[in-house]
Chain A
Amino acid sequence: MTAQDTSKDQKDREPASQNGACNDAPWLDPAQQPFIEIQSLTKRFGDFTAVDDINLKIYRGELFTILGGSGCGKSTLLRMLAGFEKPTQGRILIDGVDITDLAPYDRPVNMMFQSYAVFPHMTVEQNIAYGLKKEKLPAAEIKQRVTAMLELVQLPELAKRKPDQLSGGQLQRVALARALIKRPKVLLLDEPLAALDKKLREQTQFELMNLQDQLGITFVVVTHDQEEAMTLATRIAVMNAGNFVQIGSPSEVYEFPLNHFVADFFGSINIFDATVHSREGEHITVTLEGSGTQIRTRHAQPLASGSACMVGIRPEKLLISKERPTLEGHTVTSGVVEELAYYGNRSIYRVRSENGRLIQVSAQNYQRSAALLLEWDDEVFISWESSCSVVLTE
């Protein structure tokens, strides 16, 4: 798999901006100067290649997320940006300056660690002031900036506390404040929300976005959590085995995944085997294995007629009903409800289709009685708009 920026060729089918933190999409404008430029970066540990010849451009003010499972190389990439790992090959430029050979303490970059790494022997205030003290700034300025930062992360009343007297959420704020106080050009965040519980995560997520918007610092976030990546990011780079699999805005990687790996990484998806029937321009017609149903949808990558491929359709794009739907341009199949799960706001149905496949359907319970209409072993029809499906390669 090669790393490629899918943004440009998907311009026509995707509105450029869908995230409040970024008013335009600088990555679509070839005249824009990248703020962080990673050039053929490689890191090997012995025989193991953690990061394999990566190229990446990140623009000023972006909240860029690198997403991948454990061992995909995302942390190594972040550590190379921070200066804790020396690249085997390649260069890193920030704001036009080559920082590849700079030590961590000389880089215009600060990092928020997954473990937070708050100094346990210093108070909150001392922790936050540490970076400024190393810059040998006058005491009065340090005091003033620390006070302002405590205000910003809403911790002023905890200034004199020691870290062991703080909750996880408070520690996270201290770590964030400590990394932000030096006004770095780039803030690196390693799994910033992983240690927080669900409620706190959602709240912190929005705070992080607001903070980034206020300060205009470029954020690079590393995470294994697709939900975190989706909500935070202006762009997501999906990483696997040391390479980028796809780079794009959250809705691009969700709605137009390039391949099975990306499609599967973001939420659930129903996969059907298919063969390519024909293509015309950006459209492709495929034949579903078994039912022989033909589906016509957009697909940018070249695929030869007759070659095998997959068709993916997200569970929430499927309609489920007892009567056969008669909608224009819909693909319809029938089946029997085998399992159902009620989540309150939605229900998940697993339907055994006529050709024996298990299809997952997620339905909004838009009416109070909606969830009660379908029962186990009910005969149902599943339909979807053909253009909602996506053609995937392995």
Chain B
Amino acid sequence: MTTLANPGKRDRLWRSCVIALPYIWLLLFFLAPFAIVLKISFADPVVAQPPFTPFFDWAAGSGSRILATLDNYAFLLEDNLYWVSYLKSIKIALVATLLCLLLGFPMAYAIALAPLPWRNLLLLLVILPFWTSFLLRVYAWMVMLGKQGLINNLLLSTGLIDEPLQMLYTDGAVYLGIVYTYVPFMILPLYATLEKLDPDIHEAAADLGAKPLRVFYDVTLPLAMPGIIAGSLLVFIPALGEYVIPALLGGLDSLMIGRTLYDEFFVNRDWPLASAVAIVLLLILILPIMLFQRLQQKADT
């Protein structure tokens, strides 16, 4: 038998393969597409197939010439439209993440404190909506929120309102849609963290003189932090680039960056500019996460 300390040749090869697999995955499905998008973002749009200029000019006689241009990035800075939709996206994603946290924390905590046989059932209920198509569920919200929708009809028939409320095509509807869709992604990591906490710890804090709110603030919250961060990232990242929900539930002013991106690609067919929008979006996402990880590592050592 080969031991861990002195692996045989075949073992080593096998191990390299196992380690290589995720890297190959990342290379094929993340880095390569990213490189292509990055390349396109430095091109000029043309009416052709594909609709952008090549990166290298092979035709220019001796050797090749790089045809990269930063025009697209410059344009992003100049035109208000992009900044406005970036900021709006960040705002909506942040608020939605916060709402998910406020809603998800008590739910996750309640599940973690529930008797053991109940927990799996409750978790199942949390992920149950995923069994139906996401698009279908968003359409269902449209049916409920519309002028002639379920909610308006109900309110009208009880006499609480005289005329239908404008709920669909508002920012409120976008928040509702995002929170509804992404709250399970908040609950699951939070539950995983809270469930591991030693229940004695809370009693110990109470025993040492902390009132319930204090116990939560001193003990529960700091120990739940890994779950809060994981859940927030899982909600914030997809929410920032969300396209379907604002497109279906949002109004004209709910212009999120996903919508802008879609319009540039498919309506204006300006692939280079759209690629630049996508690259900037990626930077907006990656920079804070990297910064956070750096801080985390510092705190750990």
* Cβ-defined contact, A84 with B203, below 8 A: yes
**Other-chain residue from A83, A114, A178 in contact with B208 (beta carbon distance below 8 A):** A178
Query: Shortest Cβ distance from B213 into chain A, in angstroms?
Result: 11
* Cβ-defined contact, A130 with B208, below 8 A: yes
Query: Shortest Cβ distance from A261 into chain B, in angstroms?
Result: 30
Cα A134 to Cα B211 in complex, Å, equals 9
The answer, yes or no, to whether B159 is at the interface (CB within 8 Å) is no
Query: Shortest Cβ distance from B135 into chain A, in angstroms?
Result: 42
CB-contacts of B213-235 with A (<8 A): 214, 218-219, 222-223
The answer, yes or no, to whether B247 is at the interface (CB within 8 Å) is no
CB-contacts of B191-207 with A (<8 A): 198, 200-201, 203-207
Main secondary structure of the interface of A (DSSP, over half): loop
* Cβ-defined contact, B204 with A117, below 8 A: yes
Query: Shortest Cβ distance from B23 into chain A, in angstroms?
Result: 31
* Cβ-defined contact, B210 with A134, below 8 A: yes
Size category of the A interface is 20 to 34
The answer, yes or no, to whether B50 is at the interface (CB within 8 Å) is no
| Known contacts A130-B205, A130-B208, A134-B208; 6 further A-B pairs (Cβ under 8 A) | A103-B206, A105-B207, A110-B207, A113-B204, A115-B198, A115-B200
* B-contact 0/1 string along A98-141, CB 8 Å cutoff: 00000111000111011101111100000000110011000000
**Other-chain residue from B203, B214, B223 in contact with A104 (beta carbon distance below 8 A):** B203
* Given contacts A84-B203, A104-B203, A134-B214, A117 and B208 within 8 Å (CB-CB): no
Cα A113 to Cα B211 in complex, Å, equals 19
Size category of the B interface is 10 to 19
CB-contacts of B166-212 with A (<8 A): 198, 200-201, 203-211
Most buried by B among A105, A115, A120, A182: A105
Query: Shortest Cβ distance from B224 into chain A, in angstroms?
Result: 10
Chain A residues with CB under 8 Å of B205's CB are 119, 130
Q: How many A-B residue pairs have CB under 8 A?
A: 60
**Other-chain residue from A109, A113, A135, A178 in contact with B203 (beta carbon distance below 8 A):** A113
* Cβ-defined contact, B210 with A105, below 8 A: yes
* Cβ-defined contact, A119 with B201, below 8 A: yes
* Cβ-defined contact, A110 with B203, below 8 A: no
The answer, yes or no, to whether A82 is at the interface (CB within 8 Å) is yes
Cα A119 to Cα B223 in complex, Å, equals 9
Cα A392 to Cα B206 in complex, Å, equals 44
* Cβ-defined contact, A117 with B203, below 8 A: yes
Query: Shortest Cβ distance from A326 into chain B, in angstroms?
Result: 60
Minimal Cβ-Cβ distance residue in B for A121? B222
Query: Shortest Cβ distance from A393 into chain B, in angstroms?
Result: 39
* A-contact 0/1 string along B107-124, CB 8 Å cutoff: 000000000000000000
Cα A389 to Cα B203 in complex, Å, equals 46
* Cβ-defined contact, B198 with A131, below 8 A: no
* Cβ-defined contact, B222 with A105, below 8 A: no
Chain B residues with CB under 8 Å of A118's CB are 204
CB-contacts of A162-196 with B (<8 A): 178-179, 182
